[in-house]
Each structure stands twice: as C-alpha cells, then as structure tokens.
Amino acid sequence: MSSSCKDQEHNNWSKFSRRKFLKTTAKAGLVLAAPTIIPGSALGLNGSVPPSERIILGGIGIGPRGTYDLERLLESKDVQFVAICDVKKVKREAVKEKVDKHHGNSDCKMYIDMREFLAERTDIDAVLIATGDRWHAMASINAMRAGKDVYSEKPSAMTIAEGQAVVETARRFGRVYQTGTQRLSEANFAFADELVRLGRLGKVHTVRAHIAPWDSGIMNHEWLPEEPLPAPDEVNWDLWLGPCPWRPYNKKYVDGGWRGHHDFHTSCIGEWGAHTFASCQRAIGALDTSPIKYHYVNNSTGDTMETVFANGIKMVLHRDEDKKLWRGSCGVRYEGDEGWVAMADGYEKPDVSDPALLADFDKIVSEYIARTQHPMNHWRDFLRCVKSRRQTVANPEVMHRSMSTVHAANACVWLARDMEYDPVKEEFVNDDEANRLRSRAQREPWTA
C-alpha cells in the first residue's frame, strides 16, 4: 500500500473512531474529561445535533452562487461549516463573516491554497466547490482524493476527459458527489420527467432544452490586456488560473469577466445546458449515455441544433429568446404523440397540452420521492447521501454524461460540421480533430 493510501486509511479510521467513540460515550452518559457541566449541544439536547452526527463542511471558491448554496446547506442543523479556501481575500473574509455569525463564534478558518486546506483539515467531511468553471473538476478530484465528499457547482467539467476523471476518482475513493443541477430536485421538473417515464405523453419523439440566450458558443481565444498584479494575499493569480494555461493578469477575469473565454468557460451551451440536458436525459431514461448524432446549424450559438439519441429521440437546443417554448430560464419541453409538457423556472405548475395531465401532480411527485429516495431539496439530498453513502440524484455519472453532451455540441459548433459520437467508447466516430477536443492541456501541478 502506498504512503498516500496509508495516510488516507489512517485519516478515515481516525475520523470513524472519533465519531464512534463520541456517540458511544454520549449514549452511556460518560464524561470524557473533568468538566462537571456538559453543554446540551454536546449531547444533542434542545433540538441541537450532537457532534457525532454533524457533517463538518468546508468551502472552496465561494462567490455569489456559492453563497446561495452555502445558505441552503446551513439551513440544516447537522451542518457545521469550519473553513473557507479562496484565492480572493474579499471572498474569504465575506464567507468567514457569514459563517461565524451563523454559528455564533469566530472559528471559521481561512485558507488561500487548496493544497494546504485539504492537507490540514482532516476533520472536514465534505466540501462545497463553487469556483468558476475552470476549477470545478480539478478541485473536486483533489478533494475526493483527500477523502472529502463533494458538492460542486455546474458546469462541472471543462472536457469529456475531466468528466471521466471525476467519475473514476469518486468510484476509486468511495466518495459521495453531487453536481449543482438543482432542478433535478425540484417538484415541477421531477413531475415533467415522470410524465414521460410513466407514458402519460404517449411515445415521446422530441425533447427541447434551453441554452443561455446571452452568450455565444464560439469562444474567445484572445487575452485581455495585462494589468499590474495585485498582492498575492489579495488575489493569488497563479492559483486563480489553476490548471488553465498561463495568461497575463486582468482584473476583469477575477471579477467574473472570464465567461466567454475558451480557457475558462463552457460556452452558452454549457451555461444552461448543464441543467437542461440532465433534465431531458433523465426524462427519456438516458442518464447513462449521450446523443450519438449532432447536426450542425449555421450560427454561432448552437440554437436549434438537433441531437439524436440511439433510441431515435431528438433533443433540440433552443435559446428561445421570444419565449415561445417556455416562459422562464432553464426551460425544457417534452413532446409525445399524445401530448406535451413544458417547464422552466418560476412556474407554479408545468404547462401541459391537456389540464388533465396535472390531476395527479402531488401523487406523482410523492411516488417519485418514495421510489428514488431523493427529496425535493438538492442540498439536503447531498447531506443525506453523505450519511447514507447512497448515490445522489446528480451523481458523477449523471454529471459526466450530460456534460459530455455539452462538449459534443460545442465541438459541433466549433468545427462547423455534423458529428457522430460513440457514448460507449466515449469518442467521436472517424473524426480525429473532434477527438482532440475531448481533453485540454493542463498546467502543472494541476493535472488529473
């Protein structure tokens, strides 16, 4: 056994032993040291959660979206957030302030370098990763190698190869992983998917998926003008870049202006397709595969691109700027020979071809929850699976297969031609140029 494996085994055993010991002694009413008064919170009294049942959480790269995730996770009393790792000082301090206020202490520790954070904090069970796209997969891989479970924001892989590495790492190290496609845990979307599965729409022939209407599929390969580097404590530019190729510092990148740049982003297709492709693929029972054909359309966004699964069902990509297919963001629409259903953010209930389709809404959602054991709360699903060690609703395979669809659609746009993809071999058919797009060079030491 390698030294790293021995260290991991020791860490896991130490964590297990500590928790088992705490739980056993609490039940037995034993006193571990000398105090004569034990706080009720240490025993799980007055509605608190005893230490042996808490999930110790840390964070990597928590900005606006990550803050929303953090707030949802902190709603669970069994979560204790103890450390934040971020290359931007302003972000580190904002998270610490929020967490310390929530817990009523000043214990949240701040880190700049992920390597130090993961090596030092052997007490942490799980991490929230909400960096920009470029870091999602690599941070997840490093965290899982360090024995942490992972909740990663989407899009969760920059390439097909990165997705494969996330799947393999989670399997090898026995880690629980959830990607942030939270619409898989929302009742309206689950109901729409179940209508397809239950045959309520007849034979489904077409599903339609929303892609972001504000950006392009053609990525920018130019560099922004070089600006003076800030102090490493303020923004560590080397760590911000991570596995990406080196390029000169520009403040716009670290303030969110990285979107649209090839080195950092997954295009307008990945921006919302990470959500909508996963929903469409769940609806038609294709979570373990990707379309086999991608038909090029002569535009820079992929709008109206038709993709075809092996079972003949078409998935069509839409910007839908005139809102003819749905009335909100991240919309999906499923069409069968006996009816259709459409869903997007902000709906009270899905739109349907016949109001009768909504009659069993509560029953269908309840039966879905009972059948799958996944609650209508994406963050709680993750926490429950951390404890049970079951697969999450947006597990590594779900992430990888839907993101493979994103990357294949991007290749279709970038190379301006039809594509055929083999989801078993995970390669494009007779297309060496497309196959080179399945991976990217990664800058040392950040390699999968």
Both structure tokens of 62: 């928590």
Question: Which CATH topology does 184-217+265-378+397-436 take?
Answer: Dihydrodipicolinate Reductase; domain 2 (3.30.360)
- How far from 14 is each of 42, 46, 126, CA to CA, in Å? 20, 29, 16
User: Which ranges in the chain are annotated with CATH 3.40.50.720?
Assistant: 3-26+37-182
The secondary element (H helix, E strand) that includes residue 342 is: strand 339-343
pTM (predicted TM-score): 0.89
448 residues of the chain, pLDDT tens digit each: 444 444 444 444 344 444 443 444 444 443 444 444 444 454 444 456 788 889 999 999 999 999 999 999 999 999 999 999 999 999 999 999 999 999 999 999 999 999 999 999 999 999 999 999 999 999 999 999 999 999 999 999 999 999 999 999 999 999 999 999 999 999 999 999 999 999 999 999 999 999 999 989 999 999 999 999 999 999 999 999 999 999 999 999 999 999 999 999 999 999 999 999 999 999 999 999 999 999 999 999 999 999 999 999 999 999 999 999 999 999 999 999 999 999 999 999 999 999 999 999 999 999 999 999 999 999 999 999 999 999 999 999 999 999 999 999 999 999 999 999 999 999 999 999 999 999 999 999 998 7
Task: Select from 3.30.70.100, 3.40.50.1980, 3.40.50.720, 3.40.630.10 the CATH code of 3-26+37-182.
Answer: 3.40.50.720
Which residues is 421 bridged to in the sheet?
428
> Is residue 18 within 8 Å of residue 50, measured between CB atoms?
no
Place of tokens 């509605």: 47
User: Which ranges in the chain are annotated with CATH 3.30.360?
Assistant: 184-217+265-378+397-436
